Chain A
Amino acid sequence: MSNQEPLLKVEHLCQYFKAGNFVTKAVDDVSFDIKKGEVFGLVGESGCGKTTTGRSIIKLYNITSGNIIFKGQRIAAGTQGYKDAIKAAQEEMKTADAARKAELEAFIKKQKEEIKSAQHDQKHADKKLVTQIQMIFQDPIASLDPRMTVREIISEGLVIQGEKDKKVIDQKVYEMLELVGLVPEHASRYPHEFSGGQRQRIGVARSIIMNPEIIIADEPVSALDVSVQAQVINLLNELRERFGLTLLFIAHDLSVVKYFSDRIGVMYFGKMVEMADSDELFAHPLHPYTKSLLSAIPLPDPIYERQRKRITYNPLAEHDYTEDKPSFREVRPGHFVQCNEAEYRRIMEQLNGK
């Protein structure tokens, strides 16, 4: 799978929110790619930017900086990175000599072109292409309009895309309903008439009616009971096998993520700190935050639970990033860790020693 062209590529994604003078860096320089047919899990505690990443990909926000490339086409791009580069260059110009000045001017010109191209791509992304990315939301109660029937909810995407033939719409809606384990009679009902699991199925049906290539599932099972959770996970698994769907699976329940994903990225405070195959990540966690996260999973085994010790993560005590800045490095094929030079050497020693 490794030599395959990635379906979705996220490059240096930054998403900042401004509140007055205060800037919240919700997502800060996150890069990853998802290959076709793969399930990529994104985990981390609440507020670490998982959901923001998902929403940025589907263009619910205008991203601050970075690129999102889907099927080889850039669908979203941010400009802040270029603007910062220009500012730095202008700063330098004040003191630079003539030769350097010319160099910098050329550089600034290039950056300005980049901004233009980014703005163009951001505005004129192929609408048809973007519909191939769909999203399933966390809360099945809040994400379904209570005044619309299930038929209207599921077919909304089709109608927006210009489908007018009622027969075609009905047929497609019924098809989707059957696919997710509901019956066509349900189409004329309202969301409140369904149980939690059934509502989430409606959410799934709505997202697959556009024949998407990739689905962003934002905590699709967190709000559900255990037994219903299993139903929804099984359904997603079936759909994945049947249509070869690709999924970006965002969750905080690590057992579910481990069960469901091929690769997992761990996020902490807007940064990706570790990324690896799911088995590899759970067998050999390298970043201290990942270790702490894994030690917090409760397992249905009382004797083990009584012995389990949670490892706490304190970034101040764990890392010394005052001089040596960290970056995202590959320590094993496919296994990336956020670390600085000293830590990288230590990790490599540890890995080679084994």
Chain B
Amino acid sequence: MENKLHVQDLRVSFHTSNGKVQAVRGINFDLAKGETLAIVGESGSGKSVTSKAILGILAGNSIVESGEIIYDGQDLLKISEEDFHKIRGDKIAMIFQDPMSSLNPIVRIGNQLTEAMILKGKIRQKESRNNFNGYLKVLNAKMVEACGDKSREAELTEKCKKFDKFEIEHTKLEAAYNIAHEGAEEALDDIEVIAFELEKNAPGKGAADRLKDIERYAKSSLHKYVVDPEVYRAEVEELAGSLSGKFKDKDYQGLLKSLYRLKEILSTGMGKGVPNFFRMGYYVTFSGQELPDMPIDELNEYLLKYLDENFMLEFLRDAEQALAYSAGITYGNIRTAIGELEKARAAFAREKLDKKECQATAKHLGEVVKNTIDPLAITKDSVVYTFLPGLKSELESYFGGVTGNVRILRKYEKEKRKYDALVAKGKKPGWELADAAVTDLELVKANISHLIDRLSAHYEQILSTSENRDYRAETIAVIDYLMANASGVVAKVTPQIAKQRAIKLMEEVGIAEPHKRYRQYPFEFSGGMRQRIVIAIALAANPDILICDEPTTALDVTIQSQILELINKLQKERQLSVIFITHDLGVVANMADRVAVMYAGKIVEYGTAEDIFYHAAHPYTWALMSSMPDLDTNEKLSAIPGTPPNMIYPPKGDAFAPRNKYAMKIDFERQPPMFQISDTHYAATWLLHPDAPKVDPPKAVMDRIARMNERRKSNDEQPGTSA
């Protein structure tokens, strides 16, 4: 599966007046596309700090000590605030714990929803234009180079221009169709709701508004390929126009009759099938004729033939050639780069690094590595893109450390003298001596060497897979990419469109009567509704990754259940990757594909939901599971004794050892490594060491697993009877 986010060795600390609080101490995880990763732990375990680091909204006194958060070919820890603006909220969005404090109390809901859309709209349009033009230009150049025939240059350039022209036409046609199609869909939904109420003879509060919606939507659905205006215009308009009047006269039977007729018309329109606008765009632009009048299936076939014969097959062939040609050049560059990397190693491996030499080497490497980026590749190669910034920041911290360490040590010694003097006098100082925060120069050097290793290995891997690349498939991906950007160029966001979209979003997240609600203030909403608004705002920019920081902790069971269902539904529809932070294991079981259990700034156990819930291996996970009651718990709950450790002085060994009744001597002395239990399941506890005594999970956990198995069995036998 495609990896969306990659977090490696993230360490975050906070400067406080008492010392340095180590909130996150080296965590690693990946997030795949369309996956939900749940992070579980007590408060103060570093869950929220991790998510804030991903979003770049850590508090001012924080220091990111090390690590990488790689998203879309960029290391989020090293990009500038300016660049972060393009990602935050747009690509990565967050739902916060408390819906009240994350909404502005004096701004109407509607304005809060559309604010980002309007702000981002123009920028996105510009970006799409740039992407489209830029890519087409490169493609054009490569096409000319690849065919090697100067005489075809004019012809190829003409083709690319053609593509530009009809692609824009295509998205325009499609946009018009979509509006009509959505209108019909919305109207049908509304008709269903109101017909249900009318049959019960009890129209709800919003019935009048809903009828107005139906009227508007039905009229907007008049389109050649949805509800044919030539046949139905008069009837639809008459039916839609009479709805409100009949409702006022309380003629519910008559109203129902009109609604059912309208439903029939709209349903036939919806069942017609979708025309292929890409082909249509070409035909409309270049044939100089009206579209032939035939059923949609036939029309699609006809247009396909026209497009292929006139343009597409040739274009595809040329584009494919260009891709293969460009890839060939890149492979050559990669081979040179591998050699250069090996040569450069020496400069970074000296006893004491030489600043001038290092900078020159870094500059040189930067150029070499830049050449290995294929200009026609659509997805950004994270490892290659992050290499140079990573190298630069490592060098910076090295040379910063060379000068800074001396100063820090001097200061530390001064304080130590003071401290020792107090102790010698027999007094108890009211403060403790924090270790000197010197930069470990050897570690930095090791990091640099690791960076080079990783890049070389990555290059080797690219070369080894070069044989079986499918250029045909890639060409089609290129066409898709161009299509997507072209639609971005056409999609304008005016305040009206933003409002329409916002209202649609509000409906999507389950807010009734969005037209009315749109103009209300946050305090007029209940807790669950407020959380829905927050979710709608987070989704307004159509993000890739959604971070949910305890989104349901403040809500009650029914609302919680609704919100979870909503997030699940939206995730499936939009292929979102979700990071879900919570301490409620029931919610985790509901949401998560994979689970990471955090304690004292570290991930102590990591695995799929099944691994964690049925085969938990870490004592902390056991403790969490046995400390919460479920519907069948009768015995005394086993609370976790004590409190989480003070992270100013993190424990030397396993952080959970003092609260762990299974702790062994080694737990207090050394930190356990991550032991691999299965392909997907890891846990950091000495209990998994081959020499450790065999320990069973506590009885409460075993009992619960047994009960779960039983319940599942009985559910399987008599389906549908579950409570």
Q: Which residues of A contact B (CB under 8 A)?
A: 45-47, 195-196, 225-231, 233-234, 237, 252-256, 258-260, 282, 285, 291-305, 307-310, 316-317
| B639 lies within 8 A of A304 (CB) | no
Contacts of A256 in B (CB 8 A): 629
A300 to B204, CA, bound (A): 38
Complex Cα distance, B626 from A231, in Å, reads 12
A interface SS class: helix
Q: How far is the CB of B165 from chain A (nearest CB, A)?
A: 49
From B235-243, B556-564, B671-679, the one touching the partner chain is B556-564
- Using CB atoms and an 8 Å cutoff, list the residues of chain B in contact with chain A: 42-43, 196-197, 200, 202, 204, 526-528, 555-562, 564-565, 583-590, 592, 609-610, 613, 623-625, 627-631, 633-634, 636-640, 643, 704, 708, 711-712, 715, 722-723
Known contacts A226-B627, A296-B561, A300-B630; 19 further A-B pairs (Cβ under 8 A): A45-B558, A195-B643, A226-B42, A229-B628, A253-B557, A254-B631, A255-B630, A258-B629, A259-B634, A282-B631, A295-B561, A297-B586, A298-B589, A298-B590, A299-B589, A300-B588, A300-B613, A301-B589, A304-B712
CB-CB under 8 A for A296 and B560, given A258-B629, A285-B723 = yes
Pairwise interchain contact B630-A45, C-beta atoms closer than 8 A: no
In the docked arrangement, what's the CA distance between A115 and B176, Å?
69
Closest to B626 in A: A230
| Residue contact A225 to B43, C-beta cutoff 8 Å | yes
Q: Check if B708 sits within 8 Å of A304, measured CB to CB.
A: yes
Minimum CB–CB distance from A182 to chain B (whole Å) comes to 13
Contact B715 A292 (CB under 8 A): no
**Across the two chains, which residue of chain A brings its CB closest to B552?**
A298
Q: With a CB–CB cut-off of 8 A, which chain A residues contact B592?
A: 302
Closest 7 CB pairs of A and B: A298-B586, A259-B629, A296-B561, A230-B639, A252-B556, A230-B627, A302-B609
The answer on a CB contact under 8 Å between B557 and A226 is: no
Q: How far is the CB of A286 from chain B (nearest CB, A)?
A: 12
Whether A226 contacts B715 by the Cβ 8 Å rule is no
- A258-B639 CB under 8 A given contacts A45-B556, A297-B586: no
Tell me, rounded to whole Å, the shortest Cβ–Cβ distance linking A294 to chain B.
5
Inter-chain CA distance A294–B633, complex, in Å, is 16
* Contact present for A46 and B561 (CB under 8 Å): no
| CB-based nearest A residue for B565 | A310
CB distance from B604 to the nearest CB of A (A): 14
Option from B204, B583, B584, B708 in Cβ contact (under 8 Å) with A301: B708
Contact, CB under 8 Å: B723 / A282 = yes
Asked if B628 contacts A230 (CB within 8 A), the reply is yes
Cross-chain contact A254 with B557 (CB below 8 angstroms) = yes
Q: Which residues of A contact B631 (CB under 8 A)?
A: 254-255, 258, 282, 297, 299
Inter-subunit contact A234/B723 (CB<8 Å): no
Are A293 and B558 interface neighbours, CB within 8 A? yes
Q: List 7 A-B contacts (CB under 8 A).
A: A225-B583, A258-B631, A298-B584, A298-B589, A300-B586, A304-B712, A307-B715
* A294 neighbours in B (Cβ, 8 Å): 723
Q: Let me know if B557 and A296 touch, CB within 8 A.
A: yes
Q: Are A227 and B623 in contact (CB under 8 A)?
A: yes
Contact status A46-B526, CB under 8 Å: yes
- Nearest-neighbor residue (CB-CB) of B722 within chain A: A308
Minimal Cβ-Cβ distance residue in A for B608: A302
Contact of B526 among A47, A298, A305 (CB under 8 A): A47
Given contacts A45-B559, A226-B585, A305-B590, contact A299 B630 (CB under 8 A): yes
Which of chain B's residues has its CB closest to A316's CB? B202
Most buried by B among A46, A47, A294, A310: A46
C-alpha spacing A233/B636, complex, angstroms: 9
Of chain A, the residue at the smallest CB distance from B631 is A258
Chain B residues in 8 Å Cβ range of A317 = 196, 200
A106–B259 alpha-carbon span in the complex (Å): 57
The smallest beta-carbon distance between B213 and chain A, in angstroms, is 20
> A295, A298, A303, A307: which contacts B723 (Cβ < 8 A)?
A295
Contact residues in A for B586 (Cβ distance below 8 Å): 255, 297-300, 305
Q: Is the beta-carbon distance between A297 and B557 smaller than 8 angstroms?
A: yes
Residues in chain A near residue B613, CB distance under 8 A = 300-302
The complex places the Cα of A303 from the Cα of B200 at a distance, in Å, of 38
Say yes or no: B639 contacts A259, CB within 8 Å. Answer: no
With both chains docked as a complex, state the minimum distance between the C-beta of B587 and any C-beta of chain A, in angstroms.
5
B512 to chain A, nearest CB (A): 12
Whole-angstrom distance between the Cβ of B104 and the nearest chain A Cβ = 23
A47-B526, A258-B629, A308-B722 in contact; A296/B640 too (CB < 8 A)?
no
Does the CB pair A293–B640 fall under 8 Å? no
Q: Which residues of B contact A228 (CB under 8 A)?
A: 42, 639
Known: A259-B633, A305-B590. A226 touches B624 (CB 8 A): yes
Q: Which residue of A lies closest to B640 (CB)?
A: A227
Pick from A45, A229, A282, A307: contact of B557, CB below 8 A.
Answer: A45
Given A226-B624, A300-B625: A316 and B589 interface contact (C-beta under 8 Å): no
